[in-house]
Chain A
């Protein structure tokens, strides 16, 4: 690792002020950023640790939505259970030690194409709250490791509507335990959302054809013969065809689990 200083603000305002410098980068749970620093793929002069900011932590209901602070770790979301499918998703991230450090805000800001939370947040139609504004999930994820966040902008919370039914099904890449493909399905009334991670070259996406079919008939066989369009990831873990096939299979399983 290159040298850097660590700052430990205790309020969001202090963190935002510290992040105004070009040299500075936010540190969430460090579960992605620390390995990246070790590989010298990032060279911030200052890391601004968000871990000491109480206002970024915790889970609370607000009307019909659930608000999760960006600094809340995966283990705490797993233990919450208000939206069972989201808690199950969090409980399946990495391993217990990773879940005790990694945060929802860090996962969303990172937008790894194989990460779990982007599927949950897009699949629930959640809103990402930053220190400056609120961003709908559909506008937040803009591509591989890309988000709508501006320099120095931090995620403070995520607001998630509570669905009538939802499920996340993840096909694990056995070495990394990330999603080889993961599908989050939610249904509220006749509105169905299908969000897919791990599959597309463009990162997490909504499979809108499947959503239309499932809105008419919310049953696994409504998807018979369907597979997603678009460029699927092809790598040593699975070909593009294999991933496209998995998307359809996992979507059916998620519908069956709802």
Chain B
């Protein structure tokens, strides 16, 4: 039986654990210490972990089930908006217009009443549920129609890209009621804790790390289960799987929905740490970037996807700060490099460098 935590995942989780414990500790060191970590870096690290979680989500459906979604940014953004709506409501009367009920942008637009779809978002638990339910439901309905009509491959990629583009346009409109162009921002606190307080930042960071670890374990559990094997079977020989009696569309919808919910969770954790969510998150290029992370790290490995996200995002921060014009070329170059030279990504490279392992011993039946 395949183990839930293999060497790779074990190493990754151990490293994640170490960072999660050490980074907050390092912020408490005196600022004269060489090991001091400025507190403002904690949300940045938290943001990176959100991206890693998003990459794991995409890898679950692309790497294992072969569903190349070019719209995962949309699920991420929807999760982010759900949390952002709660944070907006939590500002309450402390906004510029001091309206206890309406967020500033609504007052600015001259609205007098909270739109119905904002009801309930004053409660944290409701927003948290919505951050998972909305992306999950969208993925379920979208997937149900797409997979039942046997849309797959390039066509599926194109319609997922169209989905995120449509949402981008919709969320840009002021009368959609999500803050239009500016999105949602100026958040104050979450569950009564100030978002700028170092302790809140640390708590959010730790929570993100826990979510990442939890989702990686969940994704791993799915992929090593018999259903995970069916997913790979679908990827390898779809019609063979059907003729064995498996309803391929059910499996695809299932994994697509779980993956979208993970992406929504990543978005919900991202927003309080970054302090803003705007329609730019729906940009088609964002979704493509996620694919690059996964491809670079090594698709179908989960750990590789997370590492790919961390590497590319770090590279992006560095490049956009030092050579702002180069980033898009670098991203394109990376994509070409991965496709041509690293079909199995960074993890594949590591595997190739390792001395060839002896053939695994025949598994003994339990």
Partners in one complex: no
